[in-house]
Chain A
């Protein structure tokens, strides 16, 4: 779990979505805190699909699954099994 979470955090920092030193709580909203917009989110989804070799059906593209580090981590954990 921590491994996946850190992977997503690294992606966000490597692509300058957030600053290196910035702190993001597991449940913080990515869209409402201005970290990511709709295009950025689609790019993140592409990155996740490729990195974890998973497919994400569109009915899973919801705020519950994609608006926070925790949501994304849980989703990947579930789908990567």
Chain B
């Protein structure tokens, strides 16, 4: 079973349990046999391409999963585009990845318009009834890493996008670890309401389809449909912390919806005690299972066993099966317990490398160990506590972002002297950003707000913009997250 391709598991289930429900969206559902046939229909339009990169432009739902699996089945490489990003950021990803081919749903084709698709040699449009239309076709030979199956973008909002290259082995091994940790069976129904185009959502698809269970897809846009989705018999709910914060705004409905949910799993950011306490109170029968990971590790690296949630909620838990975690000093030597170093990981889920960026790959993967960039300490029992980042990356609305890149982006495109990004707490997202700006004569606050709304994803829209008159330097004359936060607190205190 080891070398089996992800999409072949679907064929296997289609043979053994053809009528079992695979995917649900709204009130519609499709069985494994139907899913398997539809994947083959789409894949048959791709047979002229041999291990070529295909961008996928599809909203979350059944269509997206079919297209993804069809790209795998045809032996090509999938590059899902995060459709929540503004057009400009998508273009940056497309340029960085030199993508000649794209598959889009009809809905996204109409939304982005003919002009957007002119840059591609091959444009394939899939409609809701699985009619596959090849609007243009130009087969260009590509030389790709032979193991490459999937490229996931970790950033790309600003600055240079980083494409994480993953293999079939990466995808299958991480899915198997997740199946074990969550005890996923064919009887389980997963709720996929977060983006499927990133590592977390992608791992839900892989683990539940390999296990032969079902997935109910939706979005977090409208609350009533989300609760309806959960009440349709979901046994495992997945969310980032902000997903839970949003749902917990409606405690009565949460209580009703989660009664039959056996596990509430999380990743993408730390679950705080307040969230855990609220879930416990409203749905005592639901097991809470926080997980930790990175796109560079396909998705998961660690989990906090449900029975230890109360004791170890301030840790990321321990390694998932198949993964080894350690903490290294700056010389790449393991440190003793309770000593701070960098969290490193190895296992079959560690990325092949970054697309077209060997330098970045060499910095992150050293002697087979993925260097996560997270500062950590080892605790007894294999538990790991995180202590912030080695670099200046911050978590905003459960996304990992580089504040220096956002600052540069705004400075380059606005009438300002300097811009500084400050992480501030946000009721739903955990963290949001505010800006401190050193203005020049032409600076207009409204213009900066408008620029951010148009060019950055919603979670990076600044809560406030404050003017300052000097650089937020630390005592030794450097600018860092810490010196910026200190200056911000100082400015706020004197307001």
Chain A residues proximal to chain B, CB less than 8 Å: 15-17, 19, 31-34, 36-42, 58-63, 66-67
Q: Knowing that A16-B452, A16-B453, A19-B454 are A-B contacts, what are 19 other residue pairs whose CB atoms are under 8 Å apart, sorted by A's residue number?
A: A16-B450, A16-B454, A19-B450, A31-B219, A31-B221, A32-B111, A36-B458, A37-B458, A38-B220, A39-B242, A39-B246, A39-B397, A39-B429, A42-B249, A42-B428, A58-B223, A58-B250, A61-B223, A67-B222
The chain A residue with its CB closest to the CB of B85 is A34
- Interface pair B453/A39, CB less than 8 Å apart: no
- Interface pair B221/A41, CB less than 8 Å apart: yes
Instruction: A62 to B223: give the CA distance in the assembly, Å.
Output: 7
Instruction: A34 to B223: give the CA distance in the assembly, Å.
Output: 18
**Interface of B (DSSP majority class):** helix
- Interface pair A34/B86, CB less than 8 Å apart: yes
**Interface of A (DSSP majority class):** loop
Ranked 5 nearest A-B pairs via Cβ = A16-B453, A61-B223, A37-B458, A38-B220, A58-B250
> What 1/0 mask marks residues of chain B from 429 to 473 whose CB sits below 8 Å from any chain A CB?
100000000000000001001101110011101000000000000
Q: Chain B contacts of A40 at CB under 8 A?
A: 458, 461
How many B residues face the partner with a CB closer than 8 A? Answer: 30
Asked if B227 is an interface residue, CB under 8 A from chain A, the answer is yes
Q: Chain A contacts of B253 at CB under 8 A?
A: 58-59
Q: Chain A contacts of B457 at CB under 8 A?
A: 37
What would be 11 A-B contacts, judged by CB atoms less than 8 Å apart? Answer: A16-B461, A19-B454, A32-B107, A33-B111, A37-B458, A38-B219, A39-B242, A58-B223, A58-B227, A58-B250, A61-B223
- Interface pair A42/B246, CB less than 8 Å apart: yes
How far in angstroms is the closest Cβ of chain A from B191?
15
Q: Chain A contacts of B382 at CB under 8 A?
A: none
How far in angstroms is the closest Cβ of chain A from B192?
15
Q: Chain A contacts of B221 at CB under 8 A?
A: 31, 37-38, 41, 63, 67
Q: Chain B contacts of A39 at CB under 8 A?
A: 242, 246, 397, 428-429, 458-459
Instruction: A38 to B221: give the CA distance in the assembly, Å.
Output: 4
The chain B residue with its CB closest to the CB of A66 is B222
Instruction: A62 to B221: give the CA distance in the assembly, Å.
Output: 9
Q: Chain B contacts of A16 at CB under 8 A?
A: 446, 449-450, 452-454, 461
Scan residues 217-258 of chain B and give those whose CB is less than 8 A from a CB of chain A.
219-225, 227, 242, 246, 249-250, 253
Given A16-B450, A40-B458: A62 touches B222 (CB 8 Å cut-off): yes
Q: Chain A contacts of B224 at CB under 8 A?
A: 58-62
Q: Chain B contacts of A61 at CB under 8 A?
A: 222-224
How far in angstroms is the closest Cβ of chain B from A48?
14
Instruction: A31 to B458: give the CA distance in the assembly, Å.
Output: 12
Instruction: A33 to B429: give the CA distance in the assembly, Å.
Output: 22
